[in-house]
Every structure is written in C-alpha cells, then in structure tokens.
Amino acid sequence: MKRLLLCILAVAIFMTGCAKNYYNVPTESFADKVKVLGIAPIFVDADSDIKHPQKDLLIQLLADLNRRYEPQLVRKLKVTGNFYTVALLDGDPVRLFESLMFRREKRDDASVQYNKYFWKTDELRNFMQKNSLDAVMLLTISGLSKTDKIYSSNLLTSLETDYNYLTLTAQMLDANGTILWEYPNFRRRLLSYSPLINLQYPDFSESDANFSKKTEVKFKTIDGIRRALELKRKDWLLRETKEPESYAAQFDEIVSLIKYDLGKDAKDAPPVVDVNRQRPTEMPKPVEVSPKSAPPSAPPIVSEPVRSPSVPVDAPAANSDEIVPATGSTR
C-alpha cells in the first residue's frame, strides 16, 4: 500500500511539476504578441456530417444556445488575466463562417477524430484589422460520425457501431493565418477529446422488450437534445448553477489549455545576477542574546594601582661596636 501511494505521488509530481506550453509558439512570444483577443460567434457547420433527420431545427437550436452561452467563455478567458482585452465580436455567424472558411478536413491524429478547418488569409486579415485584434478565436460546431461502444444503463449489454456526434473545435489565429493555438490540442501529455453531444443512442429497452438480439440505433429528439444541452452543472453541494454542463465542460477544457503563468516559468529558471547593480548593503542589526543562551560572565577585572618606579635607597647601617672614622675628617 505504501509503495502504491508513493507511485501515485510521484506521478502527480511529474504531471504538475513543470509548466507546459500548449501553444504552437513559445509562450513568451505569444504573451508579447497577443494583448487583444477577439472571440467570434460560435459557428455551426451545416454542411458537415450532421445526419439528424430534423437537421434544420437542430441547427437553429444550436445557434440559439451558442449565442446564449458565448459570454461564459469570454468571462472565463478574462479571469485568466493573460489578455488586456477579451471581446465577443458582433456579426452574423452564418455569413461570417461562409466568408472566412476555406475548407474542412476530417482528421484522425493520434487516434483523435475531429474536423480541422482552414481559413481564407485575406478575409481573415481584413476581419481582424477591422476589429483591431491581435488574435481571433474561431470556434466551430460540426457533425462527426465515428465508431464507439455504448453500454446500457445497467452495464450488462453494449453496442459497438457508428454514432453521429456534434463536436466543438477551436483555433486561435493571427492576422497572417498562423495557428497560434488549437483544440483539440496535441501538445498535452494525455490526449483526450470529448464530443459536445451524441445525437444517437442504442435502444436497449426495445430490444429487451421484444427479446431481440438486434438493437436499433435511434436519433434523439430535438427536445431531448435541447434538454441535454441545457442541463445545468451542479456545485459541490449538488446545487444547480447557471452553467450548462455540456458547454461548460468544453469551455473549461479550452481555458485550461490557454491559461499560462509566466511568473511560474521564471521561478523555474535559474536566477540571473546583475553585476552592474549591487544589492544595497544592510547595516548589521544588534544581536540580542537571551539570558538562557548567554555565556557565563567572566569575573570582573580589578585594576591595580600604578606603581611608581622604585628609587634605590641606602640601607641603614648595621649596628656595630666598631668605630669607623669619618671620611674626609682632619686631625
């Protein structure tokens, strides 16, 4: 058990220990170049692989929901603090998509299936200059069919076949048409890409009721799709929020791959010493020695009086009975 916890901790440190650049250019270059970001209205590619029998009603539903939830993405991008301005651009998304879109290409990169879009360079440059943008984000909802395996509610049966999905892709471009960032993003360690919604479902209940081994794949109704896309996200206390789960999950994934922290990258880099600018000299503070840690005091030194230099003094004559004649006496 201890080894398992250590392994989990090591993986967590590895995954979060260093900053990751999800851009197609260095993060520092992107930060210097992109200050004003414009968010175009979310496009719906009506000519993509949308197989729903009520396609026109579905496209109208998506247009209404897109317009309603676009401000949530703008708000999330503003919170990152990576841009001076994040603006939701005006305009008809249908006409704007027709004027900018060059071609669509279905891709299967690293087992991730998605629709990649290419844009007209001149029209894109004029659009950005008109709105005074450093970069623009283009988001597109499109239809995509792919093989998937779906289980029943009791997880006892499953059906693997082709299903029709709605997917959301996004790109951030400059005025030259350079893709600065894109979603799905292939610069992450663990690739993942979830569709916006599945338009179909396997009817296990009908096959069980009829004792049939064949399960029919049916399309969801327009009302069912609307309720699924409007289903509110719940907080930690299981209270409904104002964010729809389907759109919020896509927006959170996008923002997590856009947000960067140059300060964190600078901390990871070795410090640079400026030899021309020395650190100001600080005056040493007096050290207060606590009574417990103070060394035992030495005994006071008693100063002795200064002794004057001794002058030789004749010693007194010793007592004797011998008579000594005086020197220099006359007779």
- Residue boundaries of the structural domains of the chain: 26-262
pLDDT of residue 260: 93
pLDDT of residue 301: 52
Please state, in angstroms and rounded to a whole number, the distance separating the CA atoms of residues 48 and 163.
Answer: 14
Strand runs labelled E in 96-212: 101-109, 112-119, 135-151, 158-173, 179-183, 197-198, 200-202
Between 284 and 238, the more confident residue is 238
- Count of other CB atoms within 10 angstroms of residue 258: 23
Share of the chain above pLDDT 70, in %: 74
pLDDT of residue 157: 92
Range with lowest mean pLDDT among 106-110, 160-164, 249-253, 315-319: 315-319
Average pLDDT, the chain: 83
Token pair belonging to 280: 């100001």
| Over residues 290-312, mean pLDDT | 49
Q: What is the CA radius of gyration of the chain?
A: 43
Residue 10 has pLDDT above 90, yes or no: no
Between 223 and 2, the more confident residue is 223
Residues 102 and 129 sit within 8 Å (Cβ to Cβ): no
For 126-184, how does the pLDDT look when each residue is reduced to its tens digit (9 = 90+)? 999 999 999 999 999 999 999 999 999 999 999 999 999 999 999 999 999 999 999 99
pLDDT of residue 13: 37
Residues 163 and 148 sit within 8 Å (Cβ to Cβ): yes
The pTM is what? 0.75
pLDDT of residue 190: 86
Between 291 and 70, the more confident residue is 70
First to last CA, the chain: 130
Residue 293 has pLDDT above 70, yes or no: no
pLDDT of residue 331: 39
Residues 97 and 45 sit within 8 Å (Cβ to Cβ): yes
pLDDT of residue 188: 86
> Cα torsion at 45, 51, 53, 57 (round to 10°)?
-20
Cα→Cα distances 58→61, 62, 142, 225, 326, Å: 5, 6, 12, 8, 154
Token pair belonging to 85: 């301005």
Token pair belonging to 105: 């290409």
Residues 135 and 37 sit within 8 Å (Cβ to Cβ): yes
